[in-house]
Amino acid sequence: MFHKTRWMLALAIGALSTAVLAGGDDYDPANDKDREGPVYFGFVRDANGAAVPGATVTLTSTNGQTATLNSNAVGLYRTHINADTRADTVTVSCAKDGYKQTRVQRRPSVAVAAMVETNCFLQRS
């Protein structure tokens, strides 16, 4: 019985953990001002998976809207463009001196439609 209970507890924790965002992102939709639109967030990492702090992250929509910001100490970025911008029209790019962008990985959101996770990967040049 003890093993079955332990297994069920592990399964429940695993199910709950899939709803948690990468890096413990603390976004709360209730904190948004004036319905700013989808939240774009993610990490900038190097080829070994280490954080790249201070990378310039640029979000560009096909309607001409842009947002530019820097990744924080753990490589995390988070921003909005505006409420009128559809998430599927936005591309993300990252740059930092001494690095080149190798790929961008967009992860589909299953828990919250107002959140778009896109991770950038850079390699030392």
CATH number (domain holding residue 117): 2.60.40.1120
Contact between residue 96 and residue 56 where contact means Cβ atoms under 8 Å apart: yes
Confidence of residue 54 (pLDDT cuts 50, 70, 90): very high
Residue 67 lies in a domain: yes
Residue 22 lies in a domain: no
By the 10 Å C-beta count (0-12 exposed, 13-18 middle, 19+ buried), 8 is classed as exposed
**What one-character DSSP code corresponds to residue 110?**
S
Residue 3 clears pLDDT 70, i.e. is over it: no
pLDDT top residue among 21 and 80 = 80
pLDDT top residue among 61 and 5 = 61
Residue 2 clears pLDDT 90, i.e. is over it: no
Confidence of residue 30 (pLDDT cuts 50, 70, 90): low
pTM tops 0.85, yes or no: no
Q: Give the chain's domain count.
A: 1
For residue 4, what are the contacts with CB-CB under 8 A and spacing of at least 6?
none
Residue 22 clears pLDDT 70, i.e. is over it: no
- Helix segments in the chain, DSSP class H: 2-17
Residue 43 lies in a domain: yes
